[in-house]
Structure 1
Amino acid sequence: MTEAAPGRVARLLGFVRRWGLRLPPVVRDLLLPALLLLHILTTGAPPRELLVGVALTAGLALPLLWRRRAPRAVFGAVAAAAFVQWLMDVQLPADVALLVALYTVAASSGRRATLVAGAVAEGGALLACLRWTTEGAFLAPFVAVTATVVAAAVLGVNVRTTRAYLAALEERAARLEQQQDQQARLAVTEERTRITREMHDIVTHNLSVMVALTDAAVYAQHRSPDKATTAMLRISETGRQALTDMRRSLGILRTDEPDGERHPLPGIAQLAALAGQMCAAGLPTRVEVEGGHTHLPATAQLTVYRLVQEALTNTLKHTPAGTRARVRIRCSTETVTVDVTDTGPCPPRPGAAPSGHGIPGMRERSAAYGGTLRSGPLPGGGWGVHTRLFLDSGGTASA
């Protein structure tokens, strides 16, 4: 029976604590003054002593109702009431209110306020022990009361430290969430830019080729029906290629899209087919590749392909018949140099205007590898596009 008693007491205290936490703060603050006043009313003291006890208990306990709003002012009021009680030489259980007020100051104020409040409470403990302890029994009660004062102050400081730590964690979590949201928005913006650039390159190139082939078919339909048929077949093939390229680019965004696996992204090896397509559209194109390119990353090869594709598309759209184009790719372990030249007229072309998506998109692709794109007329006539991609992504555009 004796061994089971501590367990029952612990369970009872746990139940009381959980029940108390469910109550509103105002109700919890009201419980202690109500209990102290109820205790003094049930002592059965004479009327005069009862009146004094009730007045002093009210002065000690009732200010605790405002301890969360003004902890230091409440501590001052409770300390003043305790001093009046000491002057009147009245001992009351309500002295515990001074410890509660000290705890509140330590839990909500800084170190200086806590030290001042603790010193005041310790002074009160000293005065109380000097007046109310029996002769020869001063030390033990004073040590016990001092330990109680220190415990109340330390408990309040620990609560304040814990609150500050939790607040710092919440602020850090909110800041990390905000940073994640910003990174997600940046990623979405970058992805939209990438898709826009890819769609521009695919649609502009293939439509330009289809328009050129359509003009050729219309021109040859009466004089050479066979050539017109061949041109129409190439138009159909170009359209299907455009659809495949679009599915390939959009398939990167979808895990259930099989075209990205069946049709790998184009690279330097596909430049020969691109040149053949341009030749069929009326722009004789020659491709020269120096150095091995099999070691190049797929993304770098795609960048080279798109740069060449856009440059040839601009040449096809903005140069007269008879223009020739030359593509020269020089590959090394660290860089890839891209030169696209043609024999067209030298004045500025509409396709090179900054307001379009072509040249800005080419500059963005080049800048992603540390390169700087140059586009303009050549000294000996014609137009040229030049850039150098740095595969280590740490070089500078010195090309």
Structure 2
Amino acid sequence: MGGELRLPRAPGVIRLFWARHQRAADILVTLIYAIPEAISRILAYLDGTMPPAFNTLALALAAVAGFALYKRRSAPIAAFVISLSVTALFIWNSDSMGGIALAIALYTVAVHHSVRASWIGLGATALTLTLAGLVTAPMVMNPADPDVASTIVVGLFAVLIGINIGNRKRYIGALVDRAGQLARERDQQAQLAAASERSRIAREMHDIVAHSLSVMIRLADGAEAMVEKDPEASLAAIRNVGSTGRASLAEMRRLLGVLRDEENELAERTPQPTLDELPQLVESYRAAGLPVTLSVSGVPPVGQGAQVTIYRSVQEALTNALRYARQPSRVDVVLACSRGAVTVTVTDDGGPGEAPASEGTGRGLIGMAERAALFGGTVTSGRLPGGGWRVQMTMPETGEEP
């Protein structure tokens, strides 16, 4: 798809490898600290420069610090606290690798937690190591040993590098999240548009099929009943069946053409019905035996959408009257247009009685209500007290498309 969102490939083979193998990177970082620390403790044990008990304790604490570095991504603060504690305990020992562990921990806090936490961690490092250096100064052979200052400086560089990389990481993460959100919104909008178009086409097809079949069935029944008594009238009814079928077939081809070949600019596009065709619509029902009268007052709306809505509403109401009204003697279609509103009323005087043989699904009235709702209108329908049925649609006259 042309609109598909694609992320660029991570630059560099090495960076891409470590990004895909984070656990291997964690193990490598842990080994960078643990191996030299273990070698230092083993040499100190062999040389006898440190009592065995202290050497064993130092080795155990180094193992704890190594494990903390391995888990630093999921618990950066805990890794920092452990690394700082181990470094402070052995600040007097220049052979200790605690400074490296502390620098890695500070870097991790800046990258995986927050900038503020990394600066707080650096301040805590400077304070803790300074106090630890003062306390352990008598144990140091050279009181001017620069281990404390060098460890703090290394920690500062680690924080600065971590802030730079962490901000870049968070910025890219925000861009990726935003891109994902835009992609989801785009897909949702496409789904909503597709659902709206399917609903519109379903309403159009319902109107076409219901109107055409109802009229054609009534004409065919009338032609069969008059074939012997009035052959000319029967032949005229058969011609009406053919013309109604051809007109409906053309509308169906238009709708199916939209579904089948949306990109074909040469596909036939029949215009949507307008109010100028309303008399012809009424005449088709009158030919089918429905005694319809049409009354129009005021200036009809000029908007294409409003005209289609009125036309389809009249078509649906007359189809219902043709199918369900029991021997009506009069069906009135009244279109009243004013500055404030447009009202369409279709009333029949079909007498009360048992329900017709075929029951409707109610989709036609639902479609009318949906069409009217696009213009802020409403549809009401119901049986009249003296018999018959009335359908009324009211919508504001804005003169604009929805």
Task: Give the TM-score normalised by the residue count of structure 1.
Answer: 0.74
CA contact (8 A) 1:373 1:385 kept: yes
Deviations 1:104-129 (A, max 9, x none): 34444568865664344213543587
Question: Residues 380 and 391 of structure 2 are in contact (CA less than 8 Å); yes or no, is this contact kept in structure 1?
Answer: yes
Is residue 102 from structure 1 mapped to residue 106 from structure 2 by the alignment? Answer: yes
Counterparts in 2 of 1:42 and 1:22: CA distance versus 1, 3 Å:
farther
Task: Name the SS of the counterpart of 2:204 in structure 1.
Answer: helix
Equivalent residues of 1:311, 1:385 under 8 A apart: yes
User: Structure 1 residues 78, 223: closer, same or farther in 2, change over 3 A?
Assistant: closer
Q: Tell me the residue number matched to 1:47.
A: 47
Aligned counterparts, 1:22-171, within 5 A: 24-33=24-33, 36=36, 47-49=47-49, 59-60=61-62, 62-63=66-67, 64-87=69-92, 89-92=93-96, 95-109=99-113, 114=118, 117-123=121-127, 125-126=129-130, 131=137, 146-157=152-163, 159-171=165-177
Larger relative contact order (CA 8 Å, sep ≥ 6): 2
Structure 2 gap segments, 5+ residues each: 1-11
C-alpha deviation, 1:314, in angstroms: 1.8
2:287 equivalent in structure 1: 280
Q: 1:324: which partner in 2?
A: 330
Q: Deviations 1:5-54 (Å, cap 9, x if unpaired)?
A: xxxxxxxxx99878866763234314522673598599999833599999
Q: Is the 8 A contact 1:345 1:383 kept in 2?
A: no
Q: Contact (CA 8 Å) 2:90, 2:98: kept in 1 or not?
A: no
Native 8 Å contact 1:59 1:78 kept in 2: no
Distance 1:358 1:69 in 2: 59
Task: Confirm whether residue 335 of structure 1 aligns to residue 341 of structure 2.
Answer: yes
Equivalent residue number for residue 193 of structure 1? 199
| Counterparts of residues 252-291 of structure 1 (less than 5 Å) | 252-253=258-259, 254-255=261-262, 256=264, 261=269, 263-291=270-298
SS of 1:95's partner is helix
Distance 2:73 2:116 in 1: 18
* Cα gap change, 1:381 to 1:120, in 2 (>3 Å): closer
> Take 1:143 and 1:37, find their aligned partners in 2: how far apart are those partners?
20
Q: Cα deviation per residue 1:327-365 (whole Å; 9 max; x = unaligned)?
A: 222334563221223343266975997843232322222
Q: C-alpha deviations, 1:119-162, integer Å up to 9, x for none?
A: 44213543587657988x89x99776544433333444555555
CA 15–126 in structure 1, closer or farther in 2 if over 3 Å, else same: farther
Greater Cα offset, 232-241 or 40-49: 40-49
Q: Is the 8 A contact 1:353 1:359 kept in 2?
A: no
Q: Say yes or no: does 1:302 pair with 2:325.
A: no
8 Å CA contact 2:109–2:118 kept in 1: the answer is yes
**Aligned to 2:90, what secondary structure does the other structure show?**
helix
Q: Distance in 1 between matches of 2:16 and 2:348?
A: 84
Residues 1:370 and 2:376 are matched in the alignment: yes
- Distance (Å, rounded) in 2 between the aligned partners of 1:20 and 1:259: 55
Question: In the alignment, is the contact (CA less than 8 A) between 2:325 and 2:348 conserved in 1?
Answer: no
C-alpha displacement of 1:230: 1.4
Shift in Å, 1:271: 0.7
8 Å contact kept, 2:102–2:155 = no
Higher mean C-alpha displacement, 64-73 vs 298-307 = 64-73
**Judging changes above 3 Å, is the alpha-carbon distance between structure 1 residues 72 and 203 closer, same or farther for their aligned structure 2 residues?**
closer
Structure 1 distance, partners of 2:395, 2:305, is 12
Write the distance in 1 (CA, Å) between the matches of 2:381 and 2:41.
98
What is the letter of the counterpart of residue 194 of structure 2? Answer: V
Residues matched between the structures, number = 376
1:340 aligned counterpart, secondary structure? strand
Give me the whole-angstrom Cα distance separating, in 1, the residues matched to 2:19 and 2:42: 28
Residue identity matched to 2:103: L
Q: Secondary structure at the match of 1:386?
A: strand
Give the superposition deviation at 1:251.
Answer: 3.6
- Does structure 1 conserve the Cα–Cα contact (< 8 Å) formed by 2:111 and 2:166? yes
How far residue 386 of structure 1 moved from its aligned partner, in angstroms, is: 2.0
Following superposition, the deviation at residue 73 of structure 1 comes to: 4.2
1:215 to 221, 236, 239: 221
| Structure 1 runs not aligned, ≥5 long | 1-13, 395-399
Partner of 2:6: none
* Paired letter, 1:25: A
Quote how far apart the aligned CAs of 1:389 are. Answer: 1.9
Alignment partners' CA distance in 1, 2:382 and 2:18: 80
Identity across matched positions, percent = 35
After superposition, what is the alpha-carbon deviation per residue over 1:65-113, rounded to whole angstroms, capped at 9, x for unaligned?
44345444444443343334334x5455653322222323444456886
State how far apart, in whole Å, the 2-side matches of 1:93 and 1:383 are. Answer: 93
The structural deviation recorded for 1:200 is 1.8
| Structure 2 residue identity aligned to 1:284 | P
